[in-house]
Structure 1
Amino acid sequence: MNIEMIEAAAARLDGVARRTPLLSSPFLDEIAGRRVLIKPECLQHTGSFKFRGGYNSVAAIDPETRARGVIAYSSGNHAQGAALGARLHGVPAVIVMPQDAPAIKLANTAALGAEVVTYDRVGGESREAIGEALATERGLTLIRPYDHPEVIAGQGTTGLEIAAQATEHGVTEADVLVCCGGGGLTSGIALALEAKAPGLKVRPVEPEGFDDVKRSLASGQVVTNNTQTGSLCDAVLTPAPGELTFPIMQRLCGPGMAVTDEDALRAMAEAFNRLKIVAEPGGAVALAAALYHAAEVEGDAVIVVVSGGNVDPAVFQRALAGFSD
């Protein structure tokens, strides 16, 4: 992985992906006790940053191989990113998803033209085994959700934009809080900022009880989560950091942070009421860390990535119901 791969991904995504802005609110600055700049990847195509990596991965496959189709496994956001990437290239897509994934993510993936194959995550079925078996059987190219070079490169284009936009806002030194599952977005942004804005330090943020990256960084070796269910933050629930992503995060990232589901719900409400954006729980954990764990953040400014907005209506209503001025 290097900056050249990320710049090549940016060229493929030019005119295709949205260049999401940096947003701010004096209300959020007051809660955090510092300047807060928010990168709303919930406004990206398919409602999350995953479109960047999904599209780039499909685009990078040689045309003859790509024509046979692609396969991915995901709880929903990578599923939609890969599905739309395949659709825009006119090739088939098969997506392996947990049967307990949010209904909106299952429905949207199918609506993008993908064949959705569900599996029993709670019962212990392996999405990796199903995905690899289908890839072999049908001759499909497997696009892993985070441990894939072109996925990381695509996600890294978010970091290129942050570097340029932070300079425009006069911010050259700050923590950059990133919602983290397997580490594709986190490591991609870290690589981009290393090259383009070395004064910006990436900090991964996860849900409490599923903070494998935080614990892995602290211990210096990969550790796993005991379970993959039990949090509202489905978008960032992974067993462990990726084999490709962990060494990058270990080299470039600051200490990890963890927030509760309730923190995430509060941050969702603040994002909607103060910025008029919709965040899903897993996409709001970085904002929650900036707002409610400010003592763990350094500097006069903090940059936050809101990574996705694909939330079921009932969960969103729960978040808004708890909001008070």
Structure 2
Amino acid sequence: MSDPATAPLLTRESVQAAHKLIEPYIHKTPVLTNSTITRLASTPRTPAELEGTEWAGRTPARPVMRLWFKCENLQRIGAFKARGAFHAIERLKQQPGWLEGGGREKGVVTHSSGNHAQALALAAQVNSIPAHIVMPTISSPVKIAAVRDTYGASIIFSGPTAPEREAVTASVIARTGAVLVPPYDHHDIVLGQGTMGLELQDQVSSHNKKLNAILTGCGGGGMLSGVALSCENTGIRVFGAEPSFEGADDAKRSFYSGQRITSVKSLTIADGLRTPVGAIPWSIIYERKLVSGMYSVTEKEIKAALRLVYERMKMVVEPSAVVGLATCLYNEDFRAMVEQEAGEDGWDIGLVFSGGNVSLEALGKLFES
């Protein structure tokens, strides 16, 4: 990555500068609305629907929400991760001597089984830079094929654990001199991901509306922290959402305890959100208080939101992409907070469909029962 000592400040202005850098390489993805889903989000749940949940016996909330969907499932490589990867490469190209001193020939390296692997492979391909991608042997065959065959990166396989991936990555760096581009825990990645927040704000403004809040999923926290920076000093509240399955809600638990959790072992269907929140995102989310709250949802609620998007919006999204929507629909703490703070006027809420990389086989298994 570019030298952290010379990294831009983590501010809204730096997100704006990042957007100018990557604008030629990314799609300005559309922002959509859906009257049916907005109506459902603004309809009180019944007492029967709350039975068996942590809110059983509570009076259902009556929030008014108008939902705006930022469709990063239509981004290059099918996910928002392209933004951070392209920004990382552009920042490397600006580093004095990197291009002329052989940096381009040595290339870049990362370890990822998911969308960051494809994003860095694409960004490197566009810039004629070698990319070395360390992928666990259990990675999806579809994603392996995309990284290797579509985007032309060199794949080095590793074991599934973080220490195994990191050890193989270190050996690649020692052998090639490639520069590490981490998936989320770096200034350049965070600023790149934040560019979607700028676009979302502008696109909603073009409809003569102003967002009151943005809600995004949180894995490593690159997207959530970047969006939070994009909303700094705008009056727009930012919230994070996670799956609760097997402790995948590490950022939520960290947020309310004040201690960052650094290890997560979860097989939630929202596989893009299985990662513990990184140190740099944490500094923005919690230490600078740029995120107002964290919420979580169950696997059943994620599936229900996913089905709703497929049936009502006809959009191909992955489970991780609908965790924010599931929060709006089913998390009574979030819904009650909106009711209390927004009142009868309600809130315009931006949601990010973070990606659409899901195979038909995986979708079939999700909905087979």
Question: Is 2:204–2:211's contact at 8 Å kept on the other side of the alignment?
Answer: no
Task: Identify the residue that residue 138 of structure 2 maps to in structure 1.
Answer: 100
Q: Provide the rounded CA distance (Å) in 1 between the counterparts of 2:187 and 2:16.
A: 13
Deviation at 1:100, TM superposition (A): 2.1
- Identify which of 276, 283, 306 aligns with 2:353: 306
1:119 maps onto 2:158 in alignment: yes
Task: Map 1:1-325 to 2 at 5 A.
Answer: 1-33=10-42, 34-62=65-93, 63-64=99-100, 65-111=103-149, 112-121=151-160, 125-195=163-233, 198-208=234-244, 209-227=247-265, 229-238=266-275, 240-250=276-286, 251-293=289-331, 295-297=333-335, 298=338, 299=342, 300=346, 301-319=348-366
AA of the residue aligned to 2:357: N
Q: Provide the rounded CA distance (Å) in 1 between the counterparts of 2:79 and 2:140.
A: 15
Deviation at 1:321, TM superposition (A): 5.6
Between 295-304 and 48-57, the greater mean CA deviation after superposition: 295-304
Structure 2 CA distance for partners of 1:284 and 1:268, relative to 1, 3 Å: same
Q: Percent identity?
A: 34
How many positions carry a matched residue from both structures?
317
Q: SS state of the match for residue 75, structure 1?
A: coil
Question: Is 1:269–1:319's contact at 8 Å kept on the other side of the alignment?
Answer: no
Q: Provide the rounded CA distance (Å) in 2 between the counterparts of 1:223 and 1:192.
A: 25
Instruction: Give the root-mean-square deviation of aligned CA atoms.
Output: 1.9
Q: Provide the rounded CA distance (Å) in 2 between the counterparts of 1:245 and 1:306.
A: 20
Structure 2 CA distance for partners of 1:132 and 1:8, relative to 1, 3 Å: farther
Between 11-20 and 86-95, the greater mean CA deviation after superposition: 11-20
AA of the residue aligned to 1:241: V
AA of the residue aligned to 2:192: G
Q: SS state of the match for residue 32, structure 2?
A: coil
Q: Provide the rounded CA distance (Å) in 1 between the counterparts of 2:134 and 2:329.
A: 35
Question: Is 1:80–1:109's contact at 8 Å kept on the other side of the alignment?
Answer: yes
Q: SS state of the match for residue 152, structure 2?
A: coil
AA of the residue aligned to 1:244: I
Question: Is 1:147–1:243's contact at 8 Å kept on the other side of the alignment?
Answer: yes
Structure 2: tracts of 5 or more residues without a match? 1-9, 43-64, 94-98
Structure 2 CA distance for partners of 1:7 and 1:132, relative to 1, 3 Å: farther
Q: Provide the rounded CA distance (Å) in 2 between the counterparts of 1:188 and 1:272.
A: 27
Question: Is 1:37–1:303's contact at 8 Å kept on the other side of the alignment?
Answer: yes
Question: Is 2:318–2:355's contact at 8 Å kept on the other side of the alignment?
Answer: yes
Q: Deviations over 1:57-80 (max 9, x none)?
A: 112113232332100111210111
Question: Is 1:207–1:231's contact at 8 Å kept on the other side of the alignment?
Answer: yes
Structure 1: tracts of 5 or more residues without a match? none
TM-score normalised over the length of structure 1: 0.91
Q: Provide the rounded CA distance (Å) in 2 between the counterparts of 1:270 and 1:104.
A: 25
Q: Provide the rounded CA distance (Å) in 2 between the counterparts of 1:294 and 1:271.
A: 20
Structure 2 CA distance for partners of 1:169 and 1:292, relative to 1, 3 Å: farther
TM-score normalised over the length of structure 2: 0.81
